[in-house]
Amino acid sequence: MKGKGVEYRFQSQGKEYVVALESGPEGIRAWVDGRECRFRLHPARDGTLDLEVDGRRHRISCARDGSSLHLACEGEGYRLQKLDPLSPRAPQQHEHGLEAPMPGLVRRVAVVAGETVRRGQTLVVLEAMKMEIRITAPEQARVIKLHCGAGDQVDRGQVLVDLDATGGKGG
74 and 103 assigned to the same domain: no
Report the pLDDT value the prediction gives residue 24, as an integer from 0 to 100: 78
Amino acid identity at 117:
V
78 and 102 assigned to the same domain: no
Q: What is the chain's pLDDT, residue by residue, as a tens digit (171 residues)?
A: 444 578 778 877 767 777 888 887 777 888 877 788 888 887 777 778 888 887 888 888 888 777 778 888 887 877 788 776 655 444 333 346 788 878 889 999 999 999 999 988 999 999 887 778 888 888 889 999 999 999 999 988 889 999 987 655 544
37 and 62 assigned to the same domain: yes
Report the pLDDT value the prediction gives residue 171, as an integer from 0 to 100: 45
116 and 139 assigned to the same domain: yes
Domain-located, residue 89? no
Report the pLDDT value the prediction gives residue 63, as an integer from 0 to 100: 80
Domain-located, residue 123? yes
How far, in Å, CA of 151 to CA of 99, rounded? 17
Strand stretches in 27-166, DSSP E: 27-32, 35-42, 48-53, 56-65, 68-73, 76-82, 95-99, 104-109, 116-117, 122-128, 131-136, 141-146, 153-154, 159-164
67 and 103 assigned to the same domain: no
